[in-house]
Amino acid sequence: MTVLRAALFAAICVLALSEATGVPAAENAKTVAFFGFRLLNTSLEPTRPDEERRIHDLDTQFQQRLDASGRFKIVPIPADMQQQIAAGPEISSCNGCERDYAEHLGTELAAWGVVQKVSNLILNINVYIEEVQTGNLVFVRSVDIRGNTDESWQHGLSYMIRHYLFGEP
């Protein structure tokens, strides 16, 4: 009986914490088609392999953080659609193709990001989230980062997600 009471108490605490933090249950999570980050190198320096790796690291970090929040559910993009996307124009300038892809996947939101490299010292991370049905951008944010390191990129995206997307202090 004591184990049953403890389990019941734990379940009530989890529900109360979920309500207090405003994190919805997973079944209420918004579905997202995430098309990844791309690097826009406007510096005079060539793109390096470590920057390409960091783009993929940001993709993983973004997906994991959104999925773990309980507010969003990232829907995987099938390989054939990934090939179609790669063969077409950039998601950030394709005149609504992101909505078509997301609608085909049955998601509520489309999301993508751009990292602009101005120099090795100045970079910015931009994230866009759009409602599939209306085409309205519901989240558009940019954070500037200083330094072209794994840590600065990770910290920049983490800061944006925590403070702007999730509204945490």
Residue 85 has a CB neighbour count (10 Å cut-off) of: 18
Q: Assess if residue 19 is contained within a domain.
A: no
Q: Assess if residue 17 is contained within a domain.
A: no
Q: Assess if residue 5 is contained within a domain.
A: no
Contacts (Cβ under 8 Å, ≥6 apart) of 39:
47, 51, 52, 55, 114, 115, 117
CA 143 to chain centre: 14
What does the alpha-carbon distance between residue 17 and residue 32 come to, in Å, rounded to a whole number?
A: 24
Tell me the per-residue pLDDT of 68-88, one tens digit each, with 9 for 90 and over. Answer: 999 999 999 999 999 999 999
The DSSP secondary structure of 49-65, one letter per residue, reads HHHHHHHHHHHHHHHHH
Contacts (Cβ under 8 Å, ≥6 apart) of 140:
126, 127, 128, 129
Phi, psi of 46 (to 5 degrees): -70, 155
The CATH number of the domain holding residue 155 is 3.40.50.10610
- Between the CA of residue 88 and those of 53, 81, 116, 132, 163, what are the distances in Å? 22, 11, 21, 19, 33
Q: Assess if residue 73 is contained within a domain.
A: yes
Residue 1 has pLDDT above 60, yes or no: no
Residue 45 has pLDDT above 70, yes or no: yes
The per-residue pLDDT for 169 is: 82
Q: Assess if residue 7 is contained within a domain.
A: no
Residues in the chain: 169
Please answer whether residues 22 and 78 qualify as being in contact, where contact means their C-beta atoms are separated by less than 8 angstroms. no
Residue 94 has pLDDT above 80, yes or no: yes
Average pLDDT value for residue range 112-141:
97
pTM reported for the whole predicted model: 0.83
Q: Assess if residue 1 is contained within a domain.
A: no
Q: Assess if residue 58 is contained within a domain.
A: yes
Average pLDDT value for residue range 12-34:
62
How sure is the predictor about 92, in pLDDT bands with cuts at 50, 70 and 90? confident
How sure is the predictor about 26, in pLDDT bands with cuts at 50, 70 and 90? low
Half-sphere exposure of 30 (CA within 13 A, CB side): 17
Domains in the chain, number? 1
How sure is the predictor about 19, in pLDDT bands with cuts at 50, 70 and 90? very low
Weakest mean pLDDT among 18-27, 30-39, 58-67 = 18-27
Tell me the per-residue pLDDT of 132-164, one tens digit each, with 9 for 90 and over. Answer: 999 999 999 999 999 999 999 999 999 999 999
Tell me which residue range forms the domain holding 67.
28-165
Name the more confident of 85 and 19.
85
Q: Assess if residue 15 is contained within a domain.
A: no
